[in-house]
Amino acid sequence: MKIIIGSDHGGFSLKKKIIDHIKKQNLDFFDAGCYSTESVDYPEYGKKVAVAVSDQQYDRGIVVCGTGIGISIAANKVKGIRCALVHDITSAKLTREHNDSNVLAMGGRIVDHDTALEIVDIWLKTEFAGGRHLRRIQAIEN
Ligand code: RB5
């Protein structure tokens, strides 16, 4: 699985932890920035990750800003993207099973960082359940 990960300055420290975590698992990933805590604008990184997933250059994307809200809104503007803002383990599992979310958003200033790593693990390994959920995600597309 190929993963692209991006953040603004508010998500930078959590993004670094996620990268260290997924490196240990030998997962194939690309860091789309930002690359420091200098203030940047989250739409740029939300869009960059979302477009790469939408274009099928990557299988999944992870985006992080301070709250996760702005960057998830930006990612969801890209066609074919189902970006889920998740701060708990149950939602991480259910958004894969029910929504086939292809981008995960988190708030680096909101979620406990150890919990965030657990969220990443569950979100990456959980499969889409299909069935009635397929009809529903198809209905989201315009
Ligand atoms: C940046 O200060 C902050 O607004 C951003 O990281 C995010 O929380 C926006 O939704």
Q: Give the other-Cβ count within 10 Å of 111's Cβ.
A: 19
What is the percentage of the chain residues whose pLDDT exceeds 90? 99
Q: Is 90 helix (H, G, I), strand (E, B) or coil?
A: helix
pLDDT of residue 141: 87
Q: Give the other-Cβ count within 10 Å of 20's Cβ.
A: 10
Q: What integer best gives the mean pLDDT of the chain?
A: 97
Q: Are 57 and 4 in contact (CB under 8 A)?
A: yes
pLDDT of residue 142: 63
Choose which residue among 13, 15, 37, 42 to substitute to test ligand 1 binding: the one with the highest number of ligand atoms within 8 A of its C-beta: 42
Q: Are 61 and 3 in contact (CB under 8 A)?
A: yes
Residue 62 has φ and ψ, to the nearest 5°, of -130, 130
pLDDT (average), residues 94-107: 98
Q: What is the DSSP string of 62-95?
A: EEEESSSHHHHHHHHTSTT--EEE--SHHHHHHH
Distance 120 CA to ligand 1 centre (A): 20
**Which residues' Cβ are closer than 6 Å to ligand 1?**
8, 10, 42, 65-67, 69-70
